[in-house]
Amino acid sequence: MFSIKQLVFKDILTVNNLEIESGKIYCLFGESGSGKSTLLKMFNSMLTPDQGTITYKDQSIANLDPVQLRREVVMLGQDPVVFEGTVRDNLLIGLQFADEADVEDQVLIDLLNDLHLTKDLDDEADKLSGGEQQRLAFGRVLLMNAEVYLLDEPTSALDEETETAIMDLFTKKIRDEGKMAIMVTHSKEVAEKYSDEIIYMNDIVTKEGDFS
């Protein structure tokens, strides 16, 4: 699905080779400052390497339309993006970006229940707490039915019980539908419980310019 060759980005990342297969859940794991989030953002062209190549489905990401790429490779950041309007508006805006048809309210209500988010569709999204906004953003990307999900500390604002419920829901969907995900987490417990493979940053980041 993704292949990285001789990637360099500033003084943050130097990755000789990395292969990421489809149909799996990966976790990028490492210390703060190891380049996890930086690398994650390169998979959908939010950041561009100074040197080297990243391919997606055997095509260089540099040659792909960024909008179309981001419809297939969806990012959920650590700080949830909340748009002006209601809970309903925020859930549907992902479908609109993906150029997909809206869904009925009952689908959205069922999703909110799955996300343990006891809010009305007409509630104003900017009135939600940080944890509620994070779950709302989770719901938005789940509706987009992407090929790849990029998750940066996706449950950082959630308590342990809610984190478990959300990650159980998400990983079941990924596996049931044969999708893939790459996530960054500070929790080794989350990484070991939910990922098929853990990519340790210390193992893939080389010394600057060392491509031997």
Q: Does 207 score more than 70 pLDDT? A: no
Beta pairing, strands 180-184 & 148-152: parallel
Beta pairing, strands 51-56 & 59-60: antiparallel
Q: Does 154 score more than 90 pLDDT? A: no
Structural domain includes residue 10: no
Band the pLDDT of 209: cuts 50, 70, 90: low
pLDDT tens digit string along 38-68? Answer: 999 999 999 999 999 999 999 999 999 999 9
Helices and strands, counts by H and E, the chain: 8, 9
Helix (H, G, I), strand (E, B) or coil at 33: coil
| Average pLDDT over all residues of the chain | 93
Structural domain includes residue 185: yes
Name which residue leads in pLDDT, 61 or 159.
61
Q: Give the Cα separation of 147 and 29 in Å (integer).
A: 22
pLDDT tens digit string along 84-136? Answer: 999 999 999 999 999 999 999 999 999 999 999 999 999 999 999 999 999 99
Q: Give the Cα separation of 168 and 147 in Å (integer).
A: 19
Band the pLDDT of 208: cuts 50, 70, 90: low
Whichever domain contains 125, its CATH number is: 3.40.50.300
Helix (H, G, I), strand (E, B) or coil at 132: helix
Q: Residue 206: what residue type?
A: T
For the record, the structure tokens of 112 come out as 């909110």
Structural domain includes residue 6: no
Structural domain includes residue 3: no
Structural domain includes residue 8: no
157: CB partners within 8 A, 6+ apart: 80, 130, 131, 133, 134
Residue 163 sits in which domain range? 24-45+65-204
Nearest CA to 109 out of 97, 91, 125, 93 is that of: 91
pLDDT given for residue 157 in this prediction: 84
Structural domain includes residue 5: no
Structural domain includes residue 57: no
Band the pLDDT of 80: cuts 50, 70, 90: confident
| Overall number of domains in the chain | 1
Structural domain includes residue 11: no
- The 3-state DSSP composition of the chain as helix, strand, coil percent (nearest 5) reads 40, 25, 35
pLDDT given for residue 155 in this prediction: 85
For the record, the structure tokens of 136 come out as 């709302």
